[in-house]
Amino acid sequence: MSASAGLIENQRIVLAAKPQGMPSESDFALVRGPVPHPGAGDVVVRCLWLSVDPYMRGLIDGVYPYVKQVLIGDTMRGGGVGRVVASNDPEFGVGDLVEGYLGWQLYSVLPGSELRQVNPALGPPSTAVGVLGMPGMTAYFGMTEIGEPKAGQTVVVSAAAGAVGSAAGQIARIRGCRVVGIAGSAEKVRHVVEDLGFDACIDYRAEPDLLAALRRHCPERINVYFDNVGGSIYDAVTSWMALDARIVICGSISEYNAQGLELGPRRLKQFEMWRARQQGFRVRDYAARYPEGIAVMAQWLTEGRLRYRETVSQGLASAPSAFIGLLQGRNVGKQLVKLAQDTSRVSRDDALGTTRRTPCKSEDVS
């Protein structure tokens, strides 16, 4: 391994203040310092793409019983994909493309056991934190294992233009379902229907009566609801459930910045009447089955049956605003932060034939 890691300057985004409600950019700070020397078994990774995801809001509040809270002064945690630049783990060689919880920083030093080798033949590197990574696996296992959609059934997906929702809806389409999205702008609605092939999509911000819209678009009620948002959208969907409805509780972004309890009607009578099932879901529990999920999703990408879109923010310093934009619903598709040009010859994006993947157009918001 290279002994020079300590000489390279790192840049990190740390939590500077605990947000009350919606975070602001001043809650984060950029810090410079040397890349730490790797210990035994450690790998040094140069980060290429950072993933920005809703669950990070929960990390700051420490809501997950099984994950360490991000405290003031800590580097923001989050998934990323990068290149190995030094390795004390024989499983990883310099130049390998890897994915893991790299954090919001230019270089990451962490045990090889916490990294996953990425097969660059399956898709561009960014897909390792997108449709072929955590969000894609969330959609795949959440929809197939918890949602259990059956051909001919009606599936509703909220945050349908987001990284998880867009994949979840397409998976249900591939399974032969009628899929209705819910999204928050005319452009998202257009994207979901025209680019992703959903049967319909409701703009919840423009729709005065969401329940009426659901009744219109789902005349036979709703068999599966893949819930990424919670809140009043959950309330509307759960009052229009079909018999044996499955409610996949994947996230509740509408409530992540709530200060205090958000109240809604209890739907217990509806759950009893319609024999409905609601189930919380954590993708980490499917870690051992990622290879299976990635293989299936990569095949669908190759066949052009699965599409995705990325919103790319440029540079580490843009990560806080990208994160806030995500929580406000400004992104379409997967929100990424691009940290560095990937100069490895092996996996340059343009080495992949266009038949190997079918991204929608990529959009750069920075």
Least distance CB 271 / a second copy (angstroms): 4
φ, ψ of residue 273 to 5 degrees: the values are -60, -40
Q: Which of 117, 278, 344, 366 binds a second copy (CB under 8 A)?
A: 278
Q: Is 219 in the site for a second copy (CB under 8 A)?
A: no
Least distance CB 192 / a second copy (angstroms): 22
Q: Is 249 in the site for a second copy (CB under 8 A)?
A: yes
Is there a contact between 69 and 59 (Cβ–Cβ < 8 Å)?
Answer: yes
Dist. CA 50–CA 326, nearest whole Å: 13
Q: Is 273 in the site for a second copy (CB under 8 A)?
A: yes
Identify which of residues 135 and 251 has a Cβ nearer to a second copy in the complex: 251
φ, ψ of residue 139 to 5 degrees: the values are -65, -45
Q: Which of 231, 257, 286, 302 binds a second copy (CB under 8 A)?
A: 231
Q: Which residues pair with 212 in a beta bridge?
A: none
> How far out from the chain centre does Cα 254 lie?
15
Q: Which of 252, 311, 331, 335 binds a second copy (CB under 8 A)?
A: 252
Angle subtended by helix axes 134-141 and 290-302, to nearest 10: 100
Identify which of residues 42 and 53 has a Cβ nearer to a second copy in the complex: 53
Residues 317-336 that bind a second copy (CB under 8 A): none
Quickly tell me which residue has 């990560």 as its tokens.
319
Secondary element (H or E) of residue 276 = none
φ, ψ of residue 164 to 5 degrees: the values are -75, -50
Q: Which of 4, 24, 113, 279 binds a second copy (CB under 8 A)?
A: 279
Residues 48-77 that bind a second copy (CB under 8 A): 58, 63-65
Identify which of residues 104 and 256 has a Cβ nearer to a second copy in the complex: 256
Dist. CA 314–CA 305, nearest whole Å: 29
Q: Which residues bind a second copy (CB under 8 A)?
A: 58, 63-65, 227, 230-231, 234, 243, 249-252, 255-256, 261-266, 268-282, 285
